[in-house]
C-alpha cells in the first residue's frame, strides 16, 4: 500500500493532514458500513439514530451540533430515515418554525439491531488497532473538534 510520507529532503512535500485523516476515515467507514449493512443501515444513518436515541426528542440543530454536521448533510440523512419511517419529524408546539425529531417505534427496533452490528464494528476496530491506538484516535478527534468547532 502506498503511504504518503515526508522524505528527508528540503524539497519533499509535507504530508497532508486532511488527506491522511480522510484516508483513515474511508477505511473506518467501510468497517462500520460492512457491519451495519447486515441490518440495512449505513454508518451515517446509524449515527443520526444513535444521537436521537441518546438525546430523545430534539431539534435538528442539536443533532447537527452533536454530530458536527451541516444542515444539508443532516437533511440528506434524515430524508431517508423519515421516508423509511424510522424517524418522526413534527412541528414544535411552542415554536412552530422548529421541527422536533424522534425515533419511531420502527426506528427504535432498527436502532437496537444496528447497535448490535455497531458493537461488532467497534470490536473489530479495537481488536485490529488495539485499545491504545483506539483511545488515541478518540482523543485526537475530540481535540480537533474542541479546537475548531465553535459552540453555538
Domain containing 125: what range?
Answer: 42-148
What local confidence, expressed as pLDDT, does residue 3 receive?
57
Per-residue pLDDT reduced to its tens digit, 96-110: 888 899 999 999 999
Residue 10: pLDDT over 70: no
Termini Cα distance of the chain: 41
When divided into structural domains, the chain yields a total of: 1
CB crowding 46-68: b at 16 or more within 10 Å, else e: bbbbbbbbeeeebebebbbebbe
Q: Per the domain annotation, does 33 fall within a domain?
A: no
- Residue 35 in any domain: the answer is no
86, part of any domain: yes
The answer as to whether 126 is a domain residue is yes
12 in a domain, yes or no? Answer: no
- Establish if 134 belongs to a structural domain: yes
Domain assignment present for residue 3? The answer is no
Amino acid at each position: 500500500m502506498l503511504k504518503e510520507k515526508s522524505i528527508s529532503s528540503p524539497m519533499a512535500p509535507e504530508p497532508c493532514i486532511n488527506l491522511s485523516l480522510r484516508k483513515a476515515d474511508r477505511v473506518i467507514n467501510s468497517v462500520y458500513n460492512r457491519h451495519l449493512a447486515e441490518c440495512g443501515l449505513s454508518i451515517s444513518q446509524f449515527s443520526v439514530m444513535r444521537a436521537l436515541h441518546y438525546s430523545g426528542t430534539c431539534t435538528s440543530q442539536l443533532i447537527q451540533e452533536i454530530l458536527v454536521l451541516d444542515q444539508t448533510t443532516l437533511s440528506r440523512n434524515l430524508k431517508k430515515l423519515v421516508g423509511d419511517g424510522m424517524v418522526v419529524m413534527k412541528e414544535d408546539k411552542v415554536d412552530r418554525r422548529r421541527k422536533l425529531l424522534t425515533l419511531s417505534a420502527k426506528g427504535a427496533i432498527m436502532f437496537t439491531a444496528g447497535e448490535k452490528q455497531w458493537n461488532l464494528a467497534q470490536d473489530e476496530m479495537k481488536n485490529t488497532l488495539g485499545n491504545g491506538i483506539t483511545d488515541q484516535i478518540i482523543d485526537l478527534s475530540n481535540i480537533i473538534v474542541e479546537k475548531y468547532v465553535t459552540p453555538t
